[in-house]
Chain A
């Protein structure tokens, strides 16, 4: 199986743009779709991005997903940072045996 590696934490100021990476350890990042989830403190996760770059229903266009084949990674970009974006973010994909893998999560601090 493979692993998805995320930075443990990132921080940025309100109004700025932050990028959270998710690097796949083996197999191509484009081999299976990547999803992104947000979990605010004390809350259930919610879905932000599915199928690499599709925004889930109701998700503002400040959130976008993309792939970088050269670095075998997926990225979640959040522009126009707001205080309410402070949360944990998780990437997720699956292997050819339909077993799901989560990244370890990234804690976003809005300074």
Chain B
């Protein structure tokens, strides 16, 4: 069965970086993409971007373009998201999801459990 498992909760100080992993299993990684979404406390879902499991191409929401990097390791079927220069506003639950599109984002069909990233001094 399709499964996506993310790494555990993280606490960082302002200005630091964080990397979250998303391990996929139960399907052919290169036939799909991975979408990253975040949710601040009490807020709605915010799309951060998408990466192709096929060729590693990525799309980023403009506000994250300079601070966020997605990577996909096809040898381990794991996607990574790195966020740099963290601020208090980055405190959120970060979700990865399997995207139906291997070449462009088409929507998430399976979601992971989420990773809480807390930015605190």
> Does A100 sit at the interface, judged by CB under 8 A?
yes
Q: What A residues does B45 contact at CB under 8 A?
A: 37, 39, 45, 90, 92, 102, 105
Pair A35/B107 contact, Cβ less than 8 Å: yes
Pair B111/A100 contact, Cβ less than 8 Å: no
Report the bound CA distance from A50 to B35 in whole Å.
15
Q: What A residues does B105 contact at CB under 8 A?
A: 94, 98, 100
Report the bound CA distance from A51 to B104 in whole Å.
14
Report the bound CA distance from A74 to B105 in whole Å.
19
Nearest chain A CB to B71 CB, angstrom units: 19
Look across to chain A and name the residue whose beta carbon is closest to the beta carbon of B62. Answer: A99
Pair A98/B59 contact, Cβ less than 8 Å: yes
Report the bound CA distance from A19 to B71 in whole Å.
39
Pair A100/B35 contact, Cβ less than 8 Å: yes
> Does A26 sit at the interface, judged by CB under 8 A?
no
> Does B26 sit at the interface, judged by CB under 8 A?
no
Pair A33/B47 contact, Cβ less than 8 Å: no
> Does A79 sit at the interface, judged by CB under 8 A?
no
Given A98-B59, A100-B35: A47 and B109 within 8 A (CB)?
yes
Nearest chain B CB to A99 CB, angstrom units: 6
Pair B104/A98 contact, Cβ less than 8 Å: yes
Name the interface residues of B72-87: CB closer than 8 Å to any CB of A: none
Q: What B residues does A33 contact at CB under 8 A?
A: 106-107
Nearest chain A CB to B49 CB, angstrom units: 8
Look across to chain A and name the residue whose beta carbon is closest to the beta carbon of B61. Answer: A99
Report the bound CA distance from A92 to B47 in whole Å.
9
> Does A101 sit at the interface, judged by CB under 8 A?
yes
A-B contact sample (6 more), CB < 8 A, given A45-B111, A47-B108: A33-B107, A44-B95, A44-B111, A47-B109, A50-B109, A102-B47
Residues of B at the A interface (CB closer than 8 Å) are 35, 37, 44-47, 50, 59, 61-62, 95, 97, 100, 104-114
